[in-house]
């Protein structure tokens, strides 16, 4: 039922292309979904893929381009004459895809393309969409939608939908507007199909519906559509006129990207990479985090070197250096990630910062007491030095307390400063926690050994 | 447009409830979406929320229950008599929600509820759905759908849709079957509205559509629906008969849960918690990871204690202990998380394990060379001990190489063993990397100092 890309398939296709067998090549990809063709294109050499692409009909080639990864798409478009681009691609795209697509081009090329579009209305729609920030509802929405007037009856409504449907690729919702194009509500297929021909739309519309404004952020759009299970969300302008709609498949991409971005930050990857990417890209995405880790390690070595005399006197102090570092990092990341997920889910703004810090204080104190009791008992039995036992237990408690509060505080502050709070789960904070944890441990050690010896 | 829950609102509502003012209380929540009411219920005391809930009409109360968190729902149902549960709730739910809901009950209570359902067909649908694993397409799908026969013409088709639509909450797709209920394709609203009344459905249906089998895993369903931008996916049985459909809003939840699960594992949280949860829950979710970290730290102290004589002779060896530990952990998590994300996106199976390990080897070698060159230069200038410089540089290179390969290898192996590969990003592997890294560093130091001193 579903296409599976195999090495055999690619080999056969390459063979057909090398023989320039247009008919058989086209037959091979004929009934495939554009997403599958985009995947095939990825596996071919540039020449082969261009050959295959040129064989496709206009609508399919537009769809395939939409499904491609951004960098591949750029490669493709670069050498395409503007006329072909407009005829083969833009004319066959929904306005939101066309706008996304043009958004990737240089300003000059954008203008050139817009001027070549025959249909003035389409060109206008695309130009409108290009003016919105891509991270807002305006940047996500498409202009194509089905709308009916609240004064119409069902019979007229169905006639009009028939007309409008010719222009729209696919639709899941019928919007109702008044004479001024103000959004009044939606009318369901069910109501249209089960009502009488003479019933007025205003009598069957559902009026208390949820909509977004053009400047609503894409994160908020995602939260709204998820929360209320909305398949197609209407977008209105500042005074409430219907200007577009966002479908759930666009939001699935937003949700996915948000989650991936947070995951990358916490795992220390700086770019969007996949295991199939090139070695150089994979290296570049990972080196920055590692270098920050290295600098953190060097700072850690300074902290230790300031206590070198102490370690010379009590080398057993070295034993728990890894433990303190690891625990500081872990406790901090746990706290930060809970806050980051809360912010992403849109549930964090109900309480103030103080309340959250107090709660975190309780959690940290319970964890700290349990863990330092454990290490106290362990060290009491297995270490010869009572000073060390006291030092590591007190240090562990302090470190967990500090790292938890710091880990909660930082993402909240970043959020207030309009900086991505997920940065707090990344290398900087972990490194700071490590170093401060180490300092607490060694300073306590100095105190202890100073007192007892 | 969108409801915002404020403290004032809750206070007013509590006031109305305390006065037992049914009319005003109901008015206050009247036009709200069930998702919002569920949120309000969360903020009330058990008694208040039960009072409010009993005021709601049957359909709303069913919807509110669907929107609740699982533990809240359990609390609610516990004390509800089975008759009320069936009348007020089950009868007003779509079959998939009803099945999910019953799935949370004990086997006895399930049976009791099923027997009380008047509508035999509905009871049968729910019983069918209960038999599927909840992590498969069968477990996700709903039974309610609109289907037409390929032999019908458009006029008959619209008549039938009208009839069927009365039973279905909302629909986005019309499925076409033959006399044996085998799935033949879909027919779009557009085609129905723009075609002639006498046109046969078989002539306008889209036949090459994508479907899932009942035993397709929910992860795969998510990948398919995302890739092909499907709003409503048909589900067929082993021989291709149409048995249900999955809508994208259910899949958004699957995607979200998958992403959250992976994020929790990498951040060291063992349960699904939110910053608004109780202190005891937050503590319980975090303590296990911290205890594993503690055990790792203790193992680390054993490794160091085996080298205590070495540190006594060369205390400067302690300097880079935090650096080596941090770098081993970071490099390992980076590698694992790239593999985990690749598996989640469904793009990892194209190549074999060997190829991936070789690629990882190159990446690790480049990173390792750069980083150990950096630490070599640093240490050469800032440390008095050439032995230490050599030790830390060679150790860092080895540690990055080992941790990267180990970090790639483990999730791939877990995947083969059908264990969640994201476990590799969690505490165990990081701890193992830390300890092995430390061992490499100290063993190299012993060798170095043994040779040079």
Mean pLDDT across chain B, nearest whole number? Answer: 86
Strands B146-149, B174-177: pairing kind = parallel
pLDDT value, residue B350: 47
Residue B177: what pLDDT? Answer: 95
- Its ipTM equals 0.76
Q: What is the rounded CA–CA span in Å between residue B292 and residue B430?
A: 10
Tell which wins on pLDDT, A162 or B444. B444
pLDDT (tens digit, 9 = 90+) per residue, A311-333?
Answer: 888 888 889 999 998 899 889 98
B434 touches chain A (CB under 8 A): yes
Give me the DSSP letters along B161-206: HHHHHTT-S--S-EEEE-TT-BEEEEE-HHHHHHS-TT-BHHHH-B
Note whether B215 and B138 are within 8 A (CB). Answer: yes
Closest chain A residue to the Cα of B195, Cα to Cα: A162
For the segment B11-49, what is each residue's pLDDT rounded down to a tens digit?
889 999 999 888 888 888 888 888 889 888 888 888 888
Residues A136-163 have a mean pLDDT of 90
Q: Range(s) for CATH 1.10.357.20 in chain B?
A: 279-452
| CB B400, CB B371: distance < 8 Å | yes
Q: CB-based contact (8 Å) between B141 and chain A? A: no
* Structure confidence by residue, pLDDT tens digits, B171-200: 778 999 999 999 999 998 778 877 888 999
Rounded-to-integer distance, Cα A36 and Cα B224, Å: 11
Backbone phi, then psi, for A346, in 5-degree steps? 75, 20
Tell me the pLDDT band of B348, cut-offs 50, 70 and 90. low
Please say whether the beta carbons of A86 and A117 come within 8 A.
yes
Task: Give the pLDDT band of residue B230 (cuts 50, 70, 90).
Answer: confident
Residue B317, burial from CB neighbour count under 10 angstroms (0-12, 13-18, 19+): buried
- The superfamily (CATH) of domain B279-452 is SLC41 divalent cation transporters, integral membrane domain (1.10.357.20)
Q: Which two tokens stand for residue A56?
A: 């496709």
pTM listed for this prediction:
0.77
Give the rounded percent of residues in chain B with a pLDDT score beyond 90: 29
Q: How high is the pLDDT of residue A453? A: 45
Q: What would the pLDDT profile of A345-392 be if each residue is shown by its tens digit?
A: 766 654 566 777 788 889 999 999 999 999 999 999 988 888 899 999
Question: According to the model, what pLDDT value does residue A350 have?
Answer: 47
* Span B7-137 CATH architecture: Alpha Horseshoe (1.25)
Q: What is the mean pLDDT of residues A198-207?
A: 92
- The answer, for A380 touching chain B at a CB cutoff of 8 Å, is no
The predicted structure's pLDDT at residue B241: 94
> 3-state class of A271 per DSSP?
coil
Band (B380; pLDDT cuts 50, 70, 90): very high
The mean pLDDT value for A82-104 works out to 83
Q: What is the pLDDT of residues B147-164, one digit of tens each?
A: 999 999 999 998 888 888
B34/A220 Cα distance (integer angstroms) = 19
Query: What is the distance of C-alpha A345 from the center of its chain?
Result: 13
The pLDDT of residue A377: 95
Contacts of A278-285 spanning 24+ positions with Cβ under 8 A? A279/B359, A279/B362, A279/B363, A279/B366, A282/B338, A282/B359, A282/B363, A283/B363, A283/B366, A283/B367
Q: A433 touching B, CB under 8 A? A: no
Nearest-CB residue to A338 (from B273, B319, B362): B273
> What's the CA angle centered on A159, arms A156 and A164, to 5 degrees?
120
Give the per-residue pLDDT at A2.
63
pLDDT at A211 over 90: yes
* Record: contact B322-A322, CB cut-off 8 A: yes
C-beta atoms of A363 and B294 within 8 A: no
Which CATH architecture does the domain made up of A7-140 adopt? Alpha Horseshoe (1.25)
pLDDT at A183: 95
Domain with CATH 1.25.60.10 in chain A: 7-140
Across the interface, which of A268, A300, A351 has its CB nearest the CB of B323? A300
pLDDT at B439: 94
Residues 384-423 of A with CB under 8 A from B: 400
Which CATH class name applies to B146-247?
A: alpha beta
Residue B329 sits at the vertex; the CA angle it makes with B326 and B332, to the nearest 5 degrees, is: 145
Angle between helix A34-43 and helix A46-55 axes, rounded to 10 deg: 150
Residue in chain A nearest B166 by alpha carbon = A190
């Amino acid at each position: 039922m579903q296409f599976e890309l195999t090495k055999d398939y690619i080999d056969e296709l390459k063979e057909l292309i090398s023989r320039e067998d247009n008919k058989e090549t086209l037959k091979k990809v004929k009934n495939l979904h554009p997403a599958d063709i985009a995947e095939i294109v990825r596996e071919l050499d540039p020449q082969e893929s261009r050959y295959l692409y040129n064989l496709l009909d206009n609508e399919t080639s537009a769809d395939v381009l939409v499904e491609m990864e951004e960098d591949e798409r750029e490669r493709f478009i670069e050498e395409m004459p503007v006329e072909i681009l407009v005829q083969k691609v833009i004319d066959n795209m929904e306005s939101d895809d066309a706008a996304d697509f043009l958004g990737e081009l240089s300003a000059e090329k954008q203008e050139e393309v817009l001027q070549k579009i025959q249909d003035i209305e389409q060109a206008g729609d695309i130009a409108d969409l290009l003016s919105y920030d891509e991270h807002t509802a305006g940047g996500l929405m498409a202009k194509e939608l089905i709308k009916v007037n609240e004064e119409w009856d069902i019979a007229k409504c169905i006639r009009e939908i028939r007309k409008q449907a010719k222009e729209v690729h696919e639709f899941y919702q019928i919007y109702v507007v008044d004479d001024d194009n103000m959004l009044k509500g939606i009318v369901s297929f069910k109501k249209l199909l089960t009502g009488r021909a003479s019933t007025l739309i205003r009598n069957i519309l559902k009026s208390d519906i949820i909509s977004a404004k053009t400047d609503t952020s894409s994160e908020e759009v995602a939260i709204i559509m998820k929360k209320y299970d909305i398949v197609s969300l209407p977008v209105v302008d500042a005074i409430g006129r219907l200007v577009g709609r966002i479908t759930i498949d666009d939001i699935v991409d937003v949700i996915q990207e948000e989650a991936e971005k947070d995951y990358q930050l916490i795992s220390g990857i700086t770019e969007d990479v996949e295991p199939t990417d090139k070695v150089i890209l994979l290296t570049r995405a990972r080196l920055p985090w590692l270098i920050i880790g290295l600098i953190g390690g060097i700072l850690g070595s300074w902290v230790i070197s300031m206590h070198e005399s102490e370690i010379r006197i009590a080398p057993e102090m070295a034993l728990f250096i890894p433990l303190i570092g690891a625990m500081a990092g872990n406790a901090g990341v746990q706290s930060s990630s809970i806050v980051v997920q809360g912010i992403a889910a849109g549930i964090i703004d109900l309480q103030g910062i103080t309340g959250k810090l107090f709660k975190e204080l309780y959690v940290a104190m319970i964890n700290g007491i349990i863990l330092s009791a454990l290490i106290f008992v362990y060290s009491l039995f297995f270490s010869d030095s009572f000073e060390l036992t006291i030092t590591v237990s007190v240090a562990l408690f302090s470190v967990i307390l500090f790292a938890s509060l710091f880990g909660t505080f930082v993402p909240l502050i970043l959020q207030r400063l309009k900086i991505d709070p997920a940065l707090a789960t990344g290398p900087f904070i972990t490194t700071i926690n490590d170093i401060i944890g180490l300092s607490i441990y060694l300073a306590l050690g100095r105190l202890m050994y100073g007192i007892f010896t």
